[in-house]
Amino acid sequence: MEDAVIAAPIEGTRVHILRPRAHPFRQSTFAFIVLLAPIFTVLYWATVPEGTWLPVLAAQVVLAVALGLIVCAYRLTVIRVNPDGVTTRSWYGRTQDFPRRQIDTLVRLDLNRSSSLEPRPQIFLLDGNGELLIRMHGLFWSPETMDAFVDSLDVPTVTLPAPVTLRELDQALPGVLHPFERRLLERRGDE
């Protein structure tokens, strides 16, 4: 699955179907398989001579099915922009519809993380109360796909000129951080 920006006409308008890039997920899947291969090799080596290998096979099947479900869920992730609004399907399977009248502002920025040398682009779609509707991470969405998303929406766009830290982002846009990012800020006061 490569980055996709697909436009299909609907009654004289365009619907944009945006999908995340595949390579971060491919890399994670490959790393997961490479990590588990020697573990299962040793487990089979230790259990086959004794005839107790069936639980190892069951565990391997369960992990393979779980990985397959995760791959399918990620491949089904999509953002659809149409004349009526935006529809998202997260990789958790949750589908959300945001009508145009609910969408107020789009914020583009680069986020500096202490664990990364390069800032990552981020897009936040907010409602009239400043509540987060959609967040696009540059790790998963290509710059071209993010540009297509911005271009497909006719809403005021705020672009921050310089990269920001998590703390600065939390101060500028309260409530847009993921729970794990908030915990990170609470634990580490330096970011």
Same domain, 64 and 83: no
Report the range of poorest mean pLDDT among 7-11, 18-22, 45-49, 118-122. Answer: 7-11
Count of domains for the chain: 2
Q: What is the mean pLDDT of residues 114-119?
A: 77
Same domain, 84 and 177: yes
- Residue 31 sits in which domain range? 23-75
Same domain, 54 and 112: no
Same domain, 113 and 51: no
Rounded to whole angstroms, the Cα distance separating 89 from 40 reads: 34
Instruction: Collect all residues with Cβ–Cβ distance below 8 Å to 83 and sequence separation of at least 6.
Output: 10, 13, 15, 100
* Per-residue pLDDT tens over the stretch 86-102: 999 988 888 999 999 99
Q: What is the mean pLDDT of residues 17-30?
A: 82
Same domain, 128 and 86: yes
In the predicted structure, residue 188 carries a pLDDT above the cut 80: no
Same domain, 82 and 173: yes
pTM over the 0.85 mark: no
* Per-residue pLDDT tens over the stretch 25-65: 777 888 888 999 999 999 999 999 999 999 999 999 999 99
Q: What is the mean pLDDT of residues 131-138?
A: 92
Same domain, 59 and 146: no
Residue that is last in its domain, among 34, 53, 75: 75
Which sign does the torsion angle of CA 134, 135, 140, 146 carry? positive
Same domain, 132 and 165: yes
Same domain, 93 and 133: yes
Q: What pLDDT does residue 98 have?
A: 96
Which CATH number covers residue 108? Answer: 2.30.29
